[in-house]
Amino acid sequence: MRVDMKKIINWKGLLYGVVYGLVSRAIFALEDFRGEEYGTALLPTYGLMTISFLFIVPFVIGLITAYHQDEITSSRKIALITMPIFAILGLVGISVLSGKEGIICALMALPVFLFMSLLGGFIGVRIFKRNRKTKNVYVSLFVLLPFIIAPLENQLGLTDKVFTEHTTIEIKGSDKLVWDHITRVKEISEIENNSSLFQFMGFPRPIKAELDTLAVGGIRKAIFARGLFFTETVTQMEPNKILAFNIVADPKSTPPKALDEHVMVGGKYFDVLEGKYEIEKLSDSKLILHLTSQFRLSTRFNFYSGLWSKLIMKDIQENILEIIKIRVEAKKSI
């Protein structure tokens, strides 16, 4: 049986969907295009980290794929509804390959993009099948909607929320040896680093940590690949038990290719605030090492970005704890 791909794949809708997505991304990338800088408050402001772009734009892409379908029948409805998936994959793929978007942000946005585009395709198929004569009105309204809402959305400002992530690992070794490995971390080889989610997503791998003075007020420098580093000031210290520090990252000193601008540590949308190691001694040769971090998110969709941030922070912390465990149990000195 020969399958006519032209009857299954809505090439026109797919093309227009991708083009609309790319044009929208280019316009919304003008997040620093603020009216005050140009002597007028009338110029619109957009931004990729907006509900308008993350939720409404992919919804419109789904509508567009349904809009450009010449014929909508019950037998082809499922195929039509799933067409937005290919439009979204085209948009994200082109953005990443062209260097306009980092892997971290692309992967974080993809689930929402796919869901909202499928929702748009589903609603579009139902609306356009019943109201073929008025579909131009529906699409025209929705195509312009994100560009109308975004400037209004930006007037509301960002919402700050502090999250806490706590991870633990059981280690066979002395508290003294564990303490030595958390206060100062010698260089971590690529072999020691696990194939973790955060590294797959493009976050730089940890390299080492240096501490100038083992006391409250001491400065600990955590160094990552690609020139990324954090300056940590010790705020609490109980030898062989607790090491806590606040964390400062200067976005201006971070190399441009170290992190995507929207997940820049110390930046507008994300910052790591505090870290804390706690050694819970079970016996002379066994203990539980706790690692807790606090980080800030400043988005209008912290409910969603928080899920990803906690997942990534948990993965980073588990990777660090696993390295310490392996080194301690191998009885390696610092």
Amino acid identity, residue 254? T
Pick the CATH number of 159-329 from 3.40.190.10, 3.40.50.300, 3.40.50.970, 3.30.530.20: 3.30.530.20
Beta carbons of 206 and 193 less than 8 angstroms apart: yes
Quote the CA–CA distance of 159 and 127 in Å, as a whole number: 35
Domain boundaries, the chain: 5-154, 159-329
- Kindly give the confidence (pLDDT) of every residue in the chain, 334 residues in length, as a single tens digit, with 9 standing for 90 and above: 444 445 555 677 789 999 999 999 999 987 654 444 444 444 457 888 899 999 999 999 998 888 776 555 554 555 566 788 999 999 999 999 998 888 888 889 999 999 999 999 888 877 776 565 566 667 778 899 999 999 888 888 788 999 999 999 999 999 999 999 999 888 888 777 766 777 777 788 888 999 998 899 999 998 888 888 889 999 999 999 999 999 987 767 666 565 677 777 778 888 889 999 999 999 988 999 999 999 999 998 999 999 998 998 998 899 999 999 999 998 755 5
Give the pTM.
0.81
DSSP 9-39: S-HHHHHHHHHHHHHHHHHHT-TT--GGGGT
- Please count the CA atoms within 13 angstroms of the CA of 22 that sit on its side-chain side: 17
